[in-house]
Structure 1
Amino acid sequence: MLERELKFYVPPHKRAALERRLRKNGATDLLLHACYFDTPEHELAKRKIALRVRKEGELWVQTIKTPGPDELSRIEINHPRPGPTLDLGLYKGTLVEDMLAGLEHPLTLLYETQVHRLVFKMDCDDNEVELAYDQGVIKSGALELPLCELELELVRGEVASLFKLAAQWLRKYGLILDLRSKAERGDALARIATPTGSTNPAAQAAPWPQLFKPRRAGPIVLTSDLSMQQAYQRCATDCMNQIIRNTTLLATTENVEAMGSPHVEYVHQIRVGIRRIRSCWRFFGKWLVLNESQLGKELRNYFSKFGQIRDSDIIHLTIAPRLAAAGMPDSTLPPRADADSTSALAASPQFQSVLLTLLQHLTDAKLALRKPEKTEIKLGKALTKRLNKRIHALGEKGAHFSQFPIEEQHRLRKQVKGLRYSMEFSGTLLAERRLARLREALTTLQHTLGDLNDLYIADDFYQSLIATQPQAHFAVGWLRAMQEQKKAEAQADFIRLRNVGHLKKA
């Protein structure tokens, strides 16, 4: 069967109210104890497969889940069992048998979940949705990870009704969208867990930074047999994952406090994800009708809000230390945005609603070609041609970079980022040697332009301090000198890009 569900983290201050609402609606209690199996090398997890035996009340059920057609869906196969043992013979003659037969190592118990669930079903516009509120722990070895989440699963009807109901509960209870399954978190915990009863103090120290690492852009594999729609979905889905997963980690404040991670990298990766998906829309918008204008406007708004936090981080963590090293007299800087306010922005119902809309946009979209072709579009050829056109235009214009006003330089910087991201989307369809040379040239250029942009941001900031702190004149003078140096470097980098050549299809 195809399981379609949305999952949300429930913030601590909303848990009592949520439980009261569910009990008032007649929710029933259910105790769940699940044992998850994989090889010590995590072969199933690497294929995004989860295999468990779970006690549901007094019954045991063996379940295997495999990836579905989108981020909302999983293929789920259930079998009743007499106890907590696996029976792989249940999959004889199925595709699952072939998947399990290819494992190189034996299956073993890697982690468990113990959950108290409140569950009830409700009608929503002639559709049926099951709500399950889970509180409990994920355990592996000596480590435990608390969980508190609300799952909304479509039992019957249209996906749109699931998102409609989810939006209502999100706003009322401050829910935080979470794409991570219990299996994903359990597998991550199992990778760093120590054996139960270990007395090694270093092993007992909670390694939370490893468990909650920021989610960077993932590898995207496009093949020549994909349609333009399928290629877009793969690229956009990875961008969406980068945005939502980092937002989840930033928004769950007790996790941030528990592991002591700074918010800086989460904010940075959220903004990179937003840039990437906007680049994805512009890149594939040549061929597809994407209807993303309103969603793009809302994402730009939050890109700007997180950008203000990022700019403050740049001043405090990058520019101010460099100025001090250059001999600037002491000055007083306004405080950086604290972790609580940054987390509050990520957790806000307004931003979470935008992210829910983004997920719906990518899982429920009916993508149409902008100009229906008489012959099938050859993916590799089409993407390569579009990339080369942009490379040529940027190389020609950027050769005069230092002559442009700041606004035009900024526009070129955004185009460089867009080109870099679009090249990474298309990378598996491109000849590797050409791609490597252009990637190196673009990376160097992007870093130079990023440094220049930081100098411009700092220039505006320190100019605003001059009236009250005359020593800021030192900063502005130093920043202006560095800007001239970086502009010359950027122009040379653009010329180098122009001379590298063009991409070729693999």
Structure 2
Amino acid sequence: MAFETELKLAIAAQDVPALLAHPLLAAEPSQRQRLVSTYFDTPKRTLLARRVAVRERRVGRQTLLTVKTAGSVIGGLARRGEWEAQTTPGAFDFVALVDDTTLADELQALAGMLVPVFTTDFTRRQWLVTHRKAQIEVALDRGHIHATTRDGPRSLPLLELELELKQGPPDALFSLARQLGHNAHLRPVAASKSDRGYVLHQGRRAKAVKAEAVTLPPLEHPMDAFRRVALACLAQLQANEAGVLHSDDIEYLHQARVALRRLRAALRVFAPALPHKFVARWGAAWKALALSLGDARDHDVFRTSLLPGLIPLLGPRDAARLQTWARVQGDAARDAARHRLASRDTSEHLLAFTRALLRLKVDDGAASVASLEPWARKRLRQRHRGLLRHIRTADLFDAVERHQVRIEAKKLRYALDFLASLWPPERLSELTEALVQAQDLLGQMNDRVSAQRLLASAPKAGSDRLQMVLGAQLVEFAAHLPSVLKALTQAPVPWK
């Protein structure tokens, strides 16, 4: 088996001439060829479920059979298992092709059921570039993905740049992408051609992706644990990116915001084990995107969750004016978030942060850091004490002090989420449930404070009345806070 290591980058059509003029490409000879590939699966989409791609590709007069496994895709960097050899169309001899016996036998058992699902048809222009002691194949693909759906034939434009490592260190891929990015906006993408083909065939966008639990080996260094957590956060952010940019479903925006919030929380949780400059740089770098996504989310919550319950309190004219205002403001906030997410700055941050993550070395961090488990016990104890201190001293009717309690609860919740695999689930259940209850109540209150802030700039007719209603709701929620926070302070902790 060979491992394919590549950076996949989206590029806009108007940026292609500038890319081609870059000295690193203009100075090298290039080749062009048309590549037509057919992707196969069973009628029940068994390969899709297994995250395995099987394709036949016509290259001139040859046909190549290729099998690819899912591998990992982070920050545009993909590393996948790949088997490829010349074949006769329709002759799926996986036993001869795949040297993983278990996978080969599974694929061979499915061979008789494989049917075409979608095709890719594109022209590839490629260069072989030597950069930073590495040989890198640069491929510019332009064409289409075609699929037959229930509604008939459908096509999707295809335009992307692939940097595939042939020899040398993977870091050279990021270095080359940075150099080429001086001429064109190159946006790292996680979705493969196969991923996009299935979405096109199914006729619907993939669902919003929630955060996945990360398993951390208890004996590894906290810096290595941070890298695992941060890469998982990046994966969630990128998995929801297309949905934020091209769908009005609020869930994509919410999950992208969660991913970024978790990433920034991970920087704070693991800060004692990381280089100070790394934490300072990336804590600041992600702030603008976080604020933009947060503002869009506040508008969406106000418009879709809170406003419907407030509108009946207004007369028809005032209600219509407020609904129009909320829609216009919400659309503007979402457009701003989309613009920020699709911006060149964000693309450069994704590439640079992924590169920096992969370059982190244990000896770069804080001195004399223990292995993960004892380090985690100490870190969680610090977070827990900070939360208890704020609960004891906060005036829960003061919005600023209450918000600080919410922040401390989130700090502990995220730290617990990141480090949960170090303890049996039953030892975490009471504390986790108490944190969920507290965060839910504090979150409901925060949503109403945000709504009051938004209403302050809304059309005045009727908004003062709604401010009073929201204030009354806050008082009602605040009455439940002492009991909820008491349960949180009394919940057993797993690190004692």
Which TM class, normalised by the smaller chain length? 0.7 to 0.9
Cα 1:359–1:43 shift into 2, 3 Å: farther
Alignment correspondent of 2:269: 283
> What code does the residue aligned with 1:159 have?
P
Q: Aligned residue for 1:485?
A: 476
Give the match's secondary structure for 1:99: helix
Residue 198 (structure 1) aligns with: none
SS class of match (1:216): coil
Cα 1:366–1:81 shift into 2, 3 Å: farther
Equivalent position to 1:50, from 45, 53, 58 = 53
Which stretch shows the higher mean deviation, 1-10 or 117-126?
A: 117-126
Native 8 Å contact 1:401 1:490 kept in 2: no
Q: Report the secondary structure of 1:286's partner residue.
A: helix
Please say if residues 60 and 84 of structure 1, whose CA atoms lie closer than 8 Å, have aligned partners that are also in contact.
Answer: no
Q: Which amino acid aligns with 2:475?
A: E
Name the residue aligned to 1:114. Answer: 120
Q: Is the 8 A contact 2:292 2:336 kept in 1?
A: no
Mapped partners of 2:335, 2:284: distance in 1: 26
Give the TM-score normalised by structure 1: 0.81
Structure-1 separation of matches of 2:65 and 2:360: 33
Report deviation, 1:187: 4.7
Q: Which residue of the partner structure matches residue 340 of structure 2? A: 345
Residue 362 of structure 1 and its aligned partner are, at CA, apart by 2.7
Residues 25 and 266 from structure 1, CA distance in 2 versus in 1: closer, same or farther, beyond 3 angstroms? Answer: farther
* One-letter amino acid of the structure 1 residue matched with residue 193 of structure 2: K
Between stretches 358-367 and 268-277, larger displacement belongs to 358-367
Query: 1:498 offset after TM fit, Å?
Result: 1.2
1:47 is displaced (CA, Å) by: 5.2
Deviation at 1:240, TM superposition (A): 0.6
Alignment of 1:433-472 (within 5 A): 433-465=426-458, 469-472=460-463
Q: 1:63-115: per-residue Cα shift (whole Å, max 9, x none)?
A: 333465773222333333344522223257x4x11333467962424634322
Separation (CA, whole Å) in 2 of partners of 1:475 and 1:2 = 60
1:355-504 to 2 correspondences below 5 Å: 355-368=350-363, 369-372=365-368, 377=371, 379-403=372-396, 405-465=398-458, 469-503=460-494
State the shift of 1:275 in Å: 0.9
TM-score normalised to the size of structure 2? 0.82
| Residue in structure 1 matching 2:166, options 155, 168, 173 | 155
Structure 1 window deviating more from structure 2 (138-147 vs 341-350): it is 138-147
Equivalent AA in structure 2 for residue 129 of structure 1: I
Q: Which residue of 2 aligns with 1:203?
A: none
For 1:360 and 1:280, how far apart are their aligned partners in 2? 17
1:41 and 1:224 mapped to 2: Cα distance? 39
Q: In the alignment, residue 5 of structure 1 is paired with which amino acid?
A: E
Q: Is the 8 A contact 1:390 1:419 kept in 2?
A: yes
Distance 1:235 1:355, change over 3 A: same
Distance 1:284 1:140, change over 3 A: farther
1:195: which partner in 2?
Answer: none
RMSD: 3.4
Structure 1 residues 51 and 393: CA distance shift in structure 2, 3 A: same
1:165 aligns with 2:165: no
Q: Distance in 1 between matches of 2:270 and 2:42?
A: 39
Distance 1:225 1:106 in 2: 41
Trace 1:12-31 onto structure 2 (pairs within 5 A).
13-14=14-15, 27-31=30-34
**Structure 2 unaligned regions, length at least 5:** none
Distance 1:451 1:238 in 2: 28
Whether the 8 Å contact between 2:11 and 2:161 is mirrored in structure 1 is yes
Paired residues of 1:40 and 1:105 also in contact (CA < 8 A): no
Q: Which residue of 2 aligns with 1:232?
A: 226
The alpha-carbon distance between structure 1 residues 399 and 43, as it changes in their structure 2 partners (threshold 3 A), is farther
CA separation of 1:248 and 1:459: change in aligned 2, threshold 3 A: same
| Identical counterparts, % of pairs | 26
DSSP-derived class of the 1:262 partner = coil
Per-residue displacement from partner, 1:401-431 (whole Å, max 9, x unpaired)?
4447433332332232232222222333322
CA distance in 1, matches of 2:136, 2:169: 10
Distance 1:103 1:156, change over 3 A: closer
Change (3 A) 1:101 1:351: same
Q: In structure 2, how many angstroms separate the alpha carbons of the residues matched to 1:16 and 1:341?
A: 28
Q: Which residue of 2 aligns with 1:79?
A: 85
Give the distance between the partners of 1:464 and 1:83, measured in 2 at CA: 65
